[in-house]
Amino acid sequence: DQQVKQNSPSLSVQEGRISILNCDYTNSMFDYFLWYKKYPAEGPTFLISISSIKDKNEDGRFTVFLNKSAKHLSLHIVPSQPGDSAVYFCAASTQTGTASKLTFGTGTRLQVTL
Amino acid sequence: KAGVTQTPRYLIKTRGQQVTLSCSPISGHRSVSWYQQTPGQGLQFLFEYFSETQRNKGNFPGRFSGRQFSNSRSEMNVSTLELGDSALYLCASSTQGLAGVNEQFFGPGTRLTVL
């Protein structure tokens, strides 16, 4: 049962344009969401997160939007740069005490072309 | 501050053998989580350790086990290896303050190949 879904396995965007990566979840208990970027042969790198009490969080070129009613979040990258080419994972968690368990999506490979 | 380190980086084993992977978290981080990454499955949570205690466990068979030492370093062990265990095994550490879930910082992973 895939509780976090990234339905687009790949995305190609021109340099300078906006990249929009989408993520859907099914577990209404999730209340904390994160995006990670992963290059080949490296571990995932934390990008940005959002708590369920917010609907938007911005950090430089990266903005995450959360639509709780639709159980949907998206990552916007503006403007896209060639160095952004990587696999992006969204992840979700429930704040059960202080336990740390992330449920990841299957990832979206972003290719930023010149 | 040094990042999360994992050893070895690459490992080749045969079916039926067992393997032990090691993870050293970022200094001061007390929580260590382990994930398995396979093509098409994304990252799947194996277990989490905090202060030498397993605090959370994913849906993996008992062949997968782990432990954490007093210095927060962690090991995971897979016994009776199967071909399907071939994957990238990732370790992540976090501070785990009172706020609950914190961002996890990942190591580079151990690539395990089972022949």
What is the C-alpha separation between B111 and B115, in angstroms, rounded?
Answer: 13
B107 touches chain A (CB under 8 A): yes
Confidence of residue B98 (pLDDT cuts 50, 70, 90): very low
Cβ <8 Å between A43 and B107: yes
CB A102 within 8 A of CB A90: no
Distance (Å) of CA B102 to CA A32, A33, B10, B32, B48:
9, 10, 28, 12, 13
Contacts of B55 in chain A (CB under 8 A): 98-100
pLDDT digits (tens, 9 = 90+) for B38-89: 877 788 999 999 889 998 889 999 999 999 999 999 999 999 999 999 999 9
Contacts of A45 in chain B (CB under 8 A): 106
Question: CB-based contact (8 Å) between A40 and chain B?
Answer: no
